[in-house]
Chains A and B, each alone.
Chain A
Amino acid sequence: MTIDHDQVRHLSEVAVSVELETPEMTLNIGPQHPSTHGVLRLVATVDGERVFDVKPVIGYMHRGYEKLAEVRTYPQITALINRIDWVSGYANEIPFIVAAERLMEIEVPERAQYIRLILTEMARIASHLVFNASYPLELGAATPLFFALRERERVLDLIESVTGGRFHPNFNRIGGVKPNAGGGPTQRKVSQDLPKGFFVDTRAAMERVLSVCDELEDLVAGNEIILARTKGIGVLPVDVGAAYGVSGPNLRASGVPFDLRRIEDYLPYDRFDFDVVTASNGDCWDRWWVRLEEIRQAARIVIQAIDGIPSGPLQAKVPRVIKVPQGEVYVRAENPKGEMGYHLISEGGQGPYRLKIRSASYSNISILPHILEGVLVPDIIAIMGSLDFVLGDVDR
């Protein structure tokens, strides 16, 4: 009888690991950790490489925007809420402005609505490009970041040429859109429309964005290391995701075609032809892939919108001092991170009585204790990164 040496060694290892005392250890990740996208702290209980329990600790970036909104006027709040999710600053403004407009019963001109839609989709492209590039970086692939940020810069330049700000546009006014930096001593007399050449530049930028999507797919999608680290990791079941209030690309990656652009009418999305991208597995890889496809769909929407943009005024008639009549409204919108909603209660003053902000990242990271249970320590970063949260959006 021959002895199978491999089997003997294996058996001895099993015996050793049973005898070894491996007490649980508390591992503290963050708040200053490059992969936490800000200042998120995770208190993980680990046994060797296995994670038993994870407790996210948030609040390091709390800036009190809900309280600040009670003592600020409506134009001042627009400047503040740019800074909630700074990766897609423009998209944050839309639901708040639409909420105030619904209470004031203002009809926004068509052209202003189209400009809002174009810039919202461009903010979505910018935000998803950051995710699709920084997620491979967290897994160790640095190159995609350079390609994606190169094209993101073009998109941000276009946003800046219209609004005057790359990250904090502060471009929406109640009743329309208006940049507050027209330049020149005659700024009150000149029209504040889109700068000349915007449509040509945007079309070129969208072509470049579509080609960088192909480049990213070539770089990342065939990479065996990335696939091994993301496929089947961090699976989010649909019922758990829905129970925790997960929304946006994270939920769509699990197979739910939940897209507020199709359900709500805060911007005229029903006039455009685009697909709601869904995937079936709900793992880290699907979340990456869904966002890549969403960039392509957003570029499709932008090209359709600049083809069909109507001419006309940019501002509805609004009083000089804005007072929102008494009432209560909740407006939600599909932000790059997920569902973002503003519950606005007005008592008729120049500022809201109460502004409740429902931000997508807060609900999205609430599944971390569930999704991180039983995974390996290196997978914490892979799963956490794939949820694409911004700490400003979590803490507000």
Chain B
Amino acid sequence: MTAIPGSGLLKGMKVTLKTLFTKPVTVNYPKVKEVPVPRARGVIALDQDACTVCMLCARSCPDWCIYIEGHKEEKQPDKPGGRVRVRATLDRFDIDYALCMYCGICVEVCPFDALFWTPEYEYSESTMADLMHDMDRLQDWLATVPEPPAVES
């Protein structure tokens, strides 16, 4: 216990008084925005051209929030006598962000670099169903993918 009654209280008040004259650490959110770190897991972007509909991301998702449908397209050869090539094309690539737990396993397993994390975070919706992002919306996120950060050696 302290010797003089109330001296502990004064010591505490000194701390609060000191803080009264320091700059606030909070930011005034809608007007001032903090820049998230490049590795921040905000939202997943999709590169439609790179996707080969291999379904690895949908299968490894822990809560099955990725919905993929696709079909095979035959591409006629440019020159006569060439082979007919078969290419898988995306019909549907939806991520349900109401279900997503932002673990990033889909981005990690993708063997063709079609999925990327981007630190964008302002995509809240007033209804849950609107959190289902279709492939075009996911493609739009691709422009916001940041450069990888410089690393310590």
Contact = CB atoms under 8 A, between A and B. Distances in A.
A170 interface: yes
A79 B62 contact: yes
Interface string B17-43: 001000001000000000011111100
B39 A195 contact: yes
B124 interface: no
A219 interface: yes
B107 A180 contact: yes
A147 B20 CA distance: 12
Interface string A106-146: 00000000000000000000000000000000000001000
A191 B151 contact: yes
A181 B39 contact: yes
Contacts of A80: 62
A60 interface: no
A188 B113 CA distance: 8
B49 to A, nearest CB: 12
Interface string A181-198: 111111110111111111
B103 A79 contact: yes
Interface in B104-153: 104-105, 107-108, 113, 116-119, 145-153
Nearest to A173: B108
Nearest to A188: B113
B41 A181 contact: yes
Interface in A180-238: 180-188, 190-199, 215, 218-224, 227
B15 interface: yes
A184 B8 contact: no
Interface in A302-356: 311
A187 B45 CA distance: 13
A183 B1 contact: no
B59 to A, nearest CB: 10
Contacts of A363: none
A157 interface: yes
A28 interface: no
A354 B39 CA distance: 33
B152 A223 contact: no
Nearest to B8: A222
A164 B149 CA distance: 12
A222 to B, nearest CB: 2
Interface stretch (A70-78, A239-247, A269-277, A287-295): A70-78
Of the four ranges (under 10, 10 to 19, 20 to 34, 35 or more), the interface on chain A belongs to: 35 or more
A359 interface: no
Contact of B104 (A143, A181, A227): A181
Contacts of A366: none
Given A164-B41, A181-B107, A187-B113, A220 B152 contact: no
Contacts of B1: 224, 227
| Chain A CB within 10 Å, residue with most, of B41, B62, B102, B149 | B149
A150 B2 contact: no
A160 interface: yes
Contacts of A219: 11-12, 15-16
A195 B150 contact: yes
Contacts of A165: 41, 102
Given A183-B117, A223-B8, A227-B1, A164 B39 contact: yes
Given A180-B107, A181-B104, A220 B39 contact: no
B118 A222 contact: no
A179 interface: yes
For the complex of A and B, list the 7 residue pairs with the smallest distance between their C-beta atoms, beginning with the closest. A222-B8, A79-B103, A180-B104, A181-B117, A196-B150, A193-B151, A184-B148
Interface of B: 1-2, 5-9, 11-12, 14-16, 19, 25, 36-41, 47, 60, 62, 101-105, 107-108, 113, 116-119, 145-153
Interface of A: 72-73, 75-76, 79-80, 143, 147, 150, 153, 157, 160-165, 168, 170, 178-188, 190-199, 215, 218-224, 227, 311
19 contacts: A79-B62, A79-B104, A157-B37, A161-B37, A163-B39, A165-B102, A168-B103, A170-B103, A179-B39, A180-B104, A182-B148, A183-B146, A190-B151, A198-B152, A218-B15, A219-B11, A223-B9, A224-B1, A224-B6
